[in-house]
Structure 1
Amino acid sequence: MLILLPPSETKRSGGEAVPLDWSLLAYPALSVKRRSLARALVSLSRHPEAAMAALKLGRTQLFELDRNRELLRSPTMPVIDRYTGVLFDGLDAATLTVPQREFAQAHLVVHSALLGPLAALDPIPAYRLSHDSRVPDLTLNKHSLKQHWAADVQKLLGRTEGLLLDLRSEAYVALGARPVRPNSIYLRVVADSGDSQRRALNHFNKKSKGEFARALIDSGQEFGAVADLIDWARSVGISLAPGAPGELQLLVEQHLASKGQPAKSTIFTAQ
């Protein structure tokens, strides 16, 4: 079973004083593409004006260029500890036990724009690169990241066995499509609209995916088929059902904001 997550724009600083070691990253077949893109990003980030335009950064984000320039020699930390933001708040890696982290390492993959798919505990530096960034360097032939990654990532995912659960945003799906087979499924987060219809959820989408990934880790189970996953979800109060062909719908309960309190959502339904 493989749970595929998108990355986050934001990263935690610091880490162990051990620089990026390509041999410690999962999926070594991607090493050449990883190295060429990393070198190109370091080179680009030495030219602030060009880098800010290519990476779509504002004046208050110049520290991101510092990170990029140092990424080949800066401290590293495990993937699920490095990324921050709404989805990774929902995952809450800081509260995982050692056995849960080992389960995540075996079954959770985060699709980085810079490094491609990574296992949960792979040690990586802080960096800034988004799915729609362009890195104008001869090693990339001035191609987009889609052109750089899509064929290799698609081939890699095509070799995976068992259940593949794709929680990525559609922007990251474009950087490498999952295989088309019965046990390869895309998760779409939806909410009841109040008129017996379901609509795609935007504001709480990332949070719900993070919470769902955490629930899967907490279960400690490796599901072999979509039907088994749906049965498990029902048993723990998660509403999961077939959607469009090749998709599952995760139904989220929303609670409107009360006075002085923010709106909330949860993937768990009343038992």
Structure 2
Amino acid sequence: MLLLLPPSEGKSAPTRGKPLDLGSLSFPALTPGREEALDALVDLCASDVTAAARVLGLGPTQTDLAARNADLRSAPTARAEQIYTGVVYDALDAASLDAAARRRLRRVAVTSSVFGLVRLADRIPSYRLSGDTTLPGLGSVAAHWRRHLGEAVAEGVGPGVLVDLRSGTYAAFWRPEGDVARRTVIVRVLHEHQGTRKVVSHFNKATKGRIVRAVLTDGGTPARRPRSRRSCATWAGTSRRASPRPAAPSSTWWSPSSDARPGPQAPNGPSPGRALKRRRLAASSPSRPPG
């Protein structure tokens, strides 16, 4: 099984650690693509920081992020679980998982504009490169990784289920095809308000993080993609109510909430898994991947 996450836009920058070693990263088949992406990004940011900031979509007060990219090959690294920050990773809270669940972190992979795909134990530097960027000498970042990721994802998922929690930007890096598509569940989280369902960024990201945490804590490994909406929800440990109609290939989990605003749990509040169980989960099969 493979749980596929998007990266965070903001990242924690380690102050010390070993420099980047591409040969030590998971998915070694991606090394040539990583070299190309690194060369393009480093060359851009080393030549003209102000111009690089414009290409990267950074504001005038963020040129330090472009300057940091120029030193990626020698910059300190840390485990990816420490580099990626933000709502998804706060909700996952990998550091607080018990020993058994932490061993299952190998089931999680993060889509990266620089490295293609990394596991949470891989050591990487902090970088800034959004998935919708076009780099001189490389072209569209998404198109670059579409040429490389198929084999790596197939290796990561093996004969099991792929749970795709990526946002639309990073879904464009690679789309499930063939046998992998038949074993893929695409997760989309919607907020329900007065009978209307829509994506709410914070709730969407927090719920995806909690889903991953619940799956890692539960420890189950389905041999195939769940065939019904009810079994999708039950397998994820996130619901007691769901529609039983069969789900089509590359189905979507819908997770509507109440009108209450999402927020962090109180220190003595329910665990993420239990909190998820109180939410209703139903599934649908949209004609295109989620945004």
With the shorter chain as reference, the TM-score category is 0.7 to 0.9
Determine the structure 1 residue equivalent to 2:266: none
Determine the structure 2 residue equivalent to 1:253: 257
Distance 2:20 2:99 in 1: 23
Q: How many equivalent pairs are there?
A: 258
Moved more, 54-63 or 150-159: 150-159
Q: How much has 1:225 moved relative to structure 2? A: 2.5
Q: Supply the AA of the counterpart residue of 1:104.
A: L
Q: Supply the AA of the counterpart residue of 2:219.
A: G
Q: 1:202 to 1:9 in 2, by over 3 A?
A: closer
Determine the structure 2 residue equivalent to 1:172: 170
Q: 1:270 to 1:134 in 2, by over 3 A?
A: closer
* Runs of 5+ unmatched residues, structure 1: 257-262
- What secondary structure, in the 3-state scheme, does the structure 1 residue paired with 2:31 have? helix
- What secondary structure, in the 3-state scheme, does the structure 2 residue paired with 1:4 have? strand
- What secondary structure, in the 3-state scheme, does the structure 1 residue paired with 2:109 have? strand
Preserved CA contact (<8 Å) 1:42 1:69:
yes
Q: Supply the AA of the counterpart residue of 1:254.
A: S
Distance 1:211 1:157 in 2: 22
Determine the structure 1 residue equivalent to 2:205: 206
- What is the TM-score normalised by the length of structure 1? 0.86
Distance 1:216 1:119 in 2: 16
Determine the structure 2 residue equivalent to 1:191: 191
Q: How much has 1:75 moved relative to structure 2? A: 1.1
Moved more, 167-176 or 217-226: 217-226
Preserved CA contact (<8 Å) 2:109 2:120:
yes
Q: 1:146 to 1:232 in 2, by over 3 A?
A: closer
CA-based RMSD of the aligned residues comes to 2.4
Q: 1:76 to 1:200 in 2, by over 3 A?
A: same
Determine the structure 1 residue equivalent to 2:141: 145
Distance 2:73 2:127 in 1: 10
Determine the structure 2 residue equivalent to 1:269: 278
Determine the structure 2 residue equivalent to 1:88: 89
Q: How much has 1:250 moved relative to structure 2? A: 3.5
Distance 1:36 1:149 in 2: 10
Distance 2:239 2:171 in 1: 28
User: 1:97-124: per-residue Cα shift (whole Å, max 9, x none)?
Assistant: 343222112x000000110011121110
Distance 1:182 1:86 in 2: 30
* Runs of 5+ unmatched residues, structure 2: 264-274, 281-291
- What secondary structure, in the 3-state scheme, does the structure 2 residue paired with 1:60 have? coil
Preserved CA contact (<8 Å) 1:90 1:208:
yes
- 1:236-247 map, 5 Å: 237=239, 245-247=249-251
